[in-house]
Amino acid sequence: MAEITIYHKAHTRIDGSFAHGEHDPESICRMSRYAPRMSQALKDHIWAQLSLGYTTKQIYDKHKAIWWERVNAGQSMTRDDFIRLQDIAYLDRKHKKGS
């Protein structure tokens, strides 16, 4: 006998409960609420910026400037705050391939 756990793209279990994060009582670490690294809205935003001709470094620097403004204002962190330059570069490679 085996138990199979399925995580949906929306990060919920089949019964609708949270699959990980601060609302999941079975979550073993605080950082799991930030997984996966990037929301779909941020991916779409980066894709649009790449279409306008911005470089990965320009997009990353703008993201970090916005992040610092939010940190200094005392706002809470989100999973989008943890993106790296490599994450944007990965989307740039996909964008150049046209996928």
DSSP 14-49: TTS-BSSSTT-TT---GGGGG-SSS-HHHHHHHHHH
Q: How many domains does the chain have?
A: 2
In contact, 6 and 14? CB cutoff 8 Å: yes
**pTM across the whole model:** 0.60
CA 19 to chain centre: 16
Same domain, 22 and 54: no
Parent domain of 70: 38-97
Same domain, 74 and 89: yes
Same domain, 17 and 54: no
Same domain, 18 and 50: no
pLDDT 10s digits, 41-77: 888 999 999 999 999 999 999 999 998 998 899 888 7
Mean pLDDT computed over 72-90? 86
